[in-house]
Amino acid sequence: MDSAHLTLLLVSLSLTCCAQFDVQQPRRMVVPEGGTARLSCSLDHQDIQKFNVHWFQQMPGSSPSFILLHNSNSTTRWGDVHFQRFQPMMNIRNNTHFLLITQVTTNDSARYWCMVTKEHFYPVWGNGTYLSVSGGKDVLTPSVTLLSSEESLSRASIFLIMCLVSKFYPAVIEVTWKLDNQTTPGQVTTGPLLPDEDGSYSTTSILEVPSYQWTNFSSASCEVRHDSSLTVISRHLSVCSK
C-alpha cells in the first residue's frame, strides 16, 4: 500500500464514527474457481457516482492492501501491482459500485473492503465482504475438535470450551458459538491463523462462560463455516465428552 493510502486508511478509521451515511457490503460471497466475483458496494441516501470508491484486499492475518481507486470522474488508479483481473464497474440505476475479479483462484479468497470519499465528507467504510473461492484442487476441508475444561465447576469460576479448527485451506473461515442453540452470552476469544507446513491453516476459538451461567445450559456447540469447501461443521460438547 502506498503512503497516501496508508494515511487515508488510518485517518478514515478514526473518523468512521462520524459518518454521514452508510456503506453497504454483503457479508460473504462464494464463487467457483475460474468464475468472476462481483463484489458490491452500495450507498444509503447518497449518489455513489459522485464519490470516489477505493477497494482494498485483506488476506487472512494481514493488513488491508490497496487494489484500486475509481474516481468520480471515471478515471481509475491501481495499486503498486497492475491488477488486470481487478476492474471497477458502476451501476447507476442501483446506486452500486462493483469490483470485478475475473478468473478467480483460491488465492483470491480474502476480505474485500470498499471505502468512499468525497470533498467535505469523511471517508466511510463498508463492513467488508468475505470472498471464498470453491472447487480448487488445493481446497482442504477443516477438521474440528471441541475440548472443555476438566476442572470441577465447584472450584472454577469460569468454564472454558475450545474449538480447534485445523488443516483447512484457503484461510477464510467463520467460527460461531451457541448455547442451547442460541447465540452465546459468553466471551469469545479467537486465536490467530497459523500456517502449517503443508500450506494449510489452523486456528482456535475459546468460549468463556461463568460457572453460574453454565449450569443453566444443557449444551454448547461450535459451528465452523468454510465456504471454499462448501462445508458447515458443528461440534457439540456432548459429542466431545463421549
Task: Count other Cβ atoms within 10 Å, centred on residue 216.
Answer: 10
Alpha carbons 96 and 83: distance in angstroms, whole number? 21
Q: Among residues of the chain, what percentage have pLDDT more than 70? A: 84
- Looking at residue 200, what is its pLDDT? 95
Query: Do 3-134 and 143-240 show the same overall fold?
Result: yes
Tens-place pLDDT, residues 79-107? 876 567 899 999 988 899 999 999 999 99
- What class has domain 143-240? mainly beta
- Looking at residue 159, what is its pLDDT? 82
Confidence class of residue 150 from pLDDT cuts 50, 70 and 90? Answer: low
To 5 degrees, how large is the angle CA 95–CA 96–CA 98?
Answer: 155
| Mean pLDDT value of segment 127-142 | 96
Task: Count other Cβ atoms within 10 Å, centred on residue 208.
Answer: 15
- Looking at residue 239, what is its pLDDT? 38
Q: Residue 112: pLDDT above 90?
A: yes
Confidence class of residue 1 from pLDDT cuts 50, 70 and 90? Answer: low
Alpha carbons 223 and 235: distance in angstroms, whole number? 7
Q: Residue 241: pLDDT above 50?
A: no
Residue predicted with more confidence, 10 or 175: 175
* 47, 132 Cβ separation under 8 angstroms: no
The three three-digit cell numbers of residue 29, written as one number = 460471497
Q: Residue 210: pLDDT above 90?
A: no
| Mean pLDDT value of segment 123-146 | 95
Q: Residue 164: pLDDT above 60?
A: yes
Residue predicted with more confidence, 122 or 63: 63
Give me the CATH topology for the region 3-134. Immunoglobulin-like (2.60.40)
Q: Residue 45: pLDDT above 60?
A: yes
Domain layout of the chain by residue ranges? 3-134, 143-240
Distances (CA, A) of 224 to 32, 79, 141: 20, 34, 11
- Looking at residue 230, what is its pLDDT? 97
Please state whether beta strands 28-32 and 129-134 pair in parallel, antiparallel, or not at all (unpaired). Answer: parallel
Alpha carbons 110 and 172: distance in angstroms, whole number? 6
Alpha carbons 224 and 170: distance in angstroms, whole number? 14
Q: C-alpha 131: how far from its chain's center?
A: 8
Contacts of 235 (CB under 8 A, 6+ apart): 144, 145, 146, 163, 221, 222, 224
| Mean pLDDT value of segment 12-19 | 48
Quote the longest CA-to-CA distance of the chain: 67
